[in-house]
Amino acid sequence: MTQHTADFSSHFSQFVGGAQCFPFWKARVALYAILRGLGVGPGEEVLVPGYTCVMNVNPVKYLGARPIYIDINPSTYNIDLAQLEDAITPQTRAIMAQHTYGIPCDMDAVLEIGRRHRIPIIEDCCLALGSKYKGRLCGTMGVAAYWSFQWNKTMTTGIGGMAATCDRELSDKIRHLCEGLQSPPRRAAALLNIQRQAYRCLIYPKTTAFATSLFHWLTAKGVVIGSSASQEFVPVQGPDFFMEMSSGQAEAGIQGLGDLEQNFEHRRKIVKVYESTLQEAARALPKISVGSEPVYTRYPVRVRNKEAVLKESSAQRLEIGSWFESPLHPSKTPLSSYDYTLGQCPEAEKAAREVVNLPTHQRVSVDEAKRSVRFIKGHLVDGM
């Protein structure tokens, strides 16, 4: 671990209240380290929401374990507690509590289920940096948690992730695993530094659609460092998977931590613009439980014709996102390779067909947010 990564780890530890923190090249590596530290192995089961990114499932498959998908509550996009307990078997070794879009899970209920069955709870905070549940920071309630710092997350290091735990035994095991971490290739680290500079200069709401398309094309050609390489859509661990965070990523992370409160406050301000304009469209909006304080990475809304909305918004140079395109995002995921069968999680599949999201990041001005919400208002699902 370099001095920069050690410093980032220390600063992040302070942010999450003193937990032991471990930075990685990508968030999926952080989850992999947690699962390995918990001893998850072949033939065992990990309960995951059926509305997530496939890269959250890859580490489960890499370990030879089986992902067991739980449908979501359509109002919160988080795991359906009514189905969660019924899915537990003697082979269940962990439950992943994903705080989708930044909306906190009902952690009291999840933790009680875990306690009753003696199953550890892992918090997926990839979309929930700064979100709170009943005054507690998301990522500080389960046995461990992990965060993503990928391009479109609340804070970015380009790509990157962090694992955290207050459990001494698990911490010792992850620390031991980290002795085997590979360093990122110099070329990859240098290229990622250049991409971060380009991101700061070029990415704004009116340019996002074009830039994203260009980025995906360049990633496919191997010209830039993408969030996911094409080979990662096959659930077989590559030889260069288990990598540590680079110094450049860590420097970007330290800078991001210094701006967090302004970051969070801006996102709350933008969400107020959306909610005040769409307050009568109750069915199209997420439902937040009393005591939850989300910091939205993106703000989800349901629309009648998702494909048309994405096409028209792109033509109008509006930043409307497509998360999640599939119960295991993105749309090109080979579902059968990940033990998912269509029809398995009907609410998740319905959400994938209906939900788009509005930006909340610091480059979205109030005027830009109003322009986006005026557009989306005419496309929301019926029955509001």
Question: CATH no. for residue 315?
Answer: 3.90.1150.10
Query: Which among 20, 55, 40 is positioned nearest to 178, based on CA atoms?
Result: 20
Q: Flag whether the pTM goes above 0.85.
A: yes
CA 213, 225, 27, 29 torsion: positive or negative? Answer: positive
The number of distinct structural domains making up the chain is 1
Question: pLDDT tens string for the chain (384 positions)?
Answer: 789 999 999 999 999 999 999 999 999 999 999 999 999 999 999 999 999 999 999 999 999 999 999 999 999 999 999 999 999 999 999 999 999 999 999 999 999 999 999 999 999 999 999 999 999 999 999 999 999 999 999 999 999 999 999 999 999 999 999 999 999 999 999 999 999 888 887 777 878 777 777 766 776 666 667 666 666 777 777 768 999 999 999 999 999 999 999 999 999 999 999 999 998 888 899 999 889 999 999 999 999 999 999 999 999 999 999 999 999 999 999 999 999 999 999 999 999 999 999 999 999 999 999 999 999 999 999 743
Residue 337 lies inside a defined structural domain of this protein? yes
Does a structural domain hold residue 200?
no
Q: What single letter denotes the amino acid at residue 154? A: T
In 3-state terms the chain splits into helix, strand, coil percentages (rounded to 5) of 45, 15, 40
- Concatenating the DSSP letter of every residue in 157-201 gives SBS-EEEEE--HHHHHHHHHHHTTPBPPPHHHHHHHHHHHHHHHH
Domain interval for residue 280: 260-377
> What is the C-alpha separation between 111 and 320, in angstroms, rounded?
34
| Structure-token pair, residue 128 | 């929930």
**Is 309 domain-assigned?**
yes
- Asked if residue 342 is part of any domain, the answer here is yes
Q: From the CB of residue 208, how many other CB atoms can be counted at a distance below 10 Å?
A: 23
Residue 184 domain-assigned (yes or no) = no
CA–CA distance, 45 with 66 (Å, rounded to integer): 5
Domain-located, residue 373? yes
344, 69 contact by CB (below 8 A)? yes
In a domain, 331, yes or no: yes
Decide: 56 and 340 in contact? Cβ < 8 Å.
no
